[in-house]
Amino acid sequence: SYGLQAVFIPAIVIITGIVISYGITSNYYFGITNSVTSANNYGLYGIAVAAAAMLSATGIIISIDSYGPITDNAGGIAEMSGFDEKTRREVTDPLDAVGNTTKAVTKGYAIGSAVLAALTLFAVLKIEITNAFPSAVVAIDNPLVLVGLIIGAMLPFFFTSYLMNSVGKAAYAIVEEVRKQFREHAGILNRTEKPDYGKAVDIVTKEALHELLVPAAIGILTPILVGFILGPLALGGVVIGVILSGFP
């Protein structure tokens, strides 16, 4: 229940950012041009600038996000190397705790920037649809838009579930390799032989690359198939659905 409640405040923060970035620019240019259409376009421009500003710090965010896995691996190496409990408790455990905190912060930042970028993408798509089909309206009461919205709402869950299953497959492959090495090289447990670390790294690398094919295909082929089969209105619904179900 606490996990579900935790979505509320981040959602409010994202909504506030969207409203402020849209409201400042649209109100300013409405006073100049006295045109609702121009003010709306400049409001979307404000959202795009906000998204670009957040994405400009991508390098820093990725660097901070990588701190967590590094410290976690340091703790694992310390434990496997036979360090005493005091060293792990006073050195690696605090670093791991800091890493978990930084990962939580960077993931929130990434989600916020993704929402702003997706809104900008939807605005551009809506403008292109209107230019190509003047009579078409991306409205929720349109069956095609509704179907696309359902498809888009489903995609983040399917994408995430597949990735989670992929992690399980890679972990199972590593477990089997460790068991195999223990069976064939009994000296590993007595530390008279060294494990084949390269084999484990090779398995993880191959599994990671192989299991990324389907998620990449989902992201690339879904908009193309929906656009060709159901049309541009359904594609707009897909974008809306992904935005609504993706950022929590």
Q: Tens of pLDDT along 213-223? A: 888 898 899 98
Q: What is this structure's pTM?
A: 0.69
Check pLDDT > 70 for residue 44. yes
CA distance 149 to 242: 8
Closest alpha carbon to 16 in 50, 49, 52, 60: 50
Check pLDDT > 70 for residue 7. no
Q: Which tops the pLDDT comparison, 32 or 207? A: 207
Structure tokens at 137: 């309206």
* pLDDT tens string 169-204: 888 888 888 888 888 887 777 777 888 888 888 888
Max intra-chain CA distance, the chain:
81
